[in-house]
Structure 1
Amino acid sequence: MPQDQDPGSTIFFNLTIDGESLGDFNGCEGLSSEVEIEQRQEGGNNGFVWQLPSRVSFSHITLTRPLTPDTAKVAAWVSSVTSGVVRPTAQIAALRADGSVVARWGLLDVLPVSWRGPSLDPASPAVATETLEIAHHGFTDAGAA
């Protein structure tokens, strides 16, 4: 398999909100959904129980990265919630080191949940990182990878 097509190669994630990039992240967790199932028994049919779909829920997505100049864009987006809730669309693209797209996820009605900056401790040589947590109301077509 050619190196540029190796799905196990280093991946990073680009987040865009209504077409504006908030930068690249090296960690992304929580791209998931869950369908609640209701069980219904049918009278006279003891062979099985109906499994019917109910609500769909979407987990929060957590993106992490070392501090970058794009941190200011994230802070501005999070602060914009104080002037009124706007629920834009977003896109997360998984990219290889050469910038080629592995996969994309479109997100509906995105809202920042939390932002955590670095713990700045001179006794710790760790990289200063930030974490952005976002909520959404579902996935949308993000285009072909």
Structure 2
Amino acid sequence: MAEIVSRAVSWRYYITIDGITAAEFIECNGLTATRESKGIPEGGRTNYEVKLPGNISYSNVTLKRGLIDLQLLDWLLKNASQNTVKPELKNITISLANESGEAAYTWNIFHAYPVKWSGPQLSADSNELSMEELELTYTYFQLTKV
């Protein structure tokens, strides 16, 4: 019997910040992991280098949503106003759902904190929604197929 494949589509996702669902985000960008490659010359050979794997780095994640409250800005400003090098860290879960609405893939983002908040672009001749963006940095993520 043929197996029915349930596809995960990019527009059906859920974001949870420290256990609280924040489904109002319309965009999530930057889920990227990159491994460095270090070239090392090998014993007298000058025509190539041996490539050794280095550390993995993770790009910042940007979340975008309609401006509905000040919680995200407050999170950034709270970290700045404490005048400390230890920001308030939160764990974030991004779940990509299949056609049935069930989680198909989950990114667990660990030790995240905001590094940038952008407010709405205000223009008298526009009828667009007021949007905010929050850029987060974090230690690492784990991707799980549910």
Structure 1 residues 81-136: Cα deviation after superposition (integer angstroms, max 9, x where no partner): 13351222221222357642232101121010112121232310112212111111
Amino acid at match of 2:76: V
Which residue does the alignment assign to 1:78?
76
> Cα distance, 1:38 vs. partner?
0.7
Which residue does the alignment assign to 1:33?
33
Amino acid at match of 1:58: Y
> Cα distance, 1:46 vs. partner?
7.4
Structure 1 residues 62-87: Cα deviation after superposition (integer angstroms, max 9, x where no partner): 1112334xx33323322331335122
Which residue does the alignment assign to 2:139?
137
CA contact (8 A) 1:12 1:27 kept: no
Root-mean-square deviation over aligned CA pairs: 2.8
Query: What TM-score, normalized to structure 1?
Result: 0.75
Structure 2, gaps ≥5 residues long: none
Give distance in 2, aligned partners of 1:131 and 1:49.
42
* 1:50-129 alignment, distance < 5 Å: 50-68=50-68, 71-81=69-79, 82-83=81-82, 85-95=87-97, 99-129=101-131
Distance 1:118-1:23 versus aligned 2 partners, 3 A rule:
same
The structure whose residues are more often strand, as a share, is 2
Distance 1:46-1:120 versus aligned 2 partners, 3 A rule:
closer
> Cα distance, 1:25 vs. partner?
1.4
Which residue does the alignment assign to 2:20?
20
Structure 1 residues 9-30: Cα deviation after superposition (integer angstroms, max 9, x where no partner): x614433222123333121111
Give distance in 2, aligned partners of 1:63 and 1:87.
16
Query: What TM-score, normalized to structure 2?
Result: 0.75
Give distance in 2, aligned partners of 1:134 and 1:97.
28
Give distance in 2, aligned partners of 1:102 and 1:128.
31
Give distance in 1, aligned partners of 2:67 and 2:100.
21
Q: How many residues align?
A: 138
Structure 1, gaps ≥5 residues long: none
Moved over 4 A (4+): 44-48
CA contact (8 A) 2:13 2:94 kept: yes
CA contact (8 A) 2:32 2:59 kept: yes
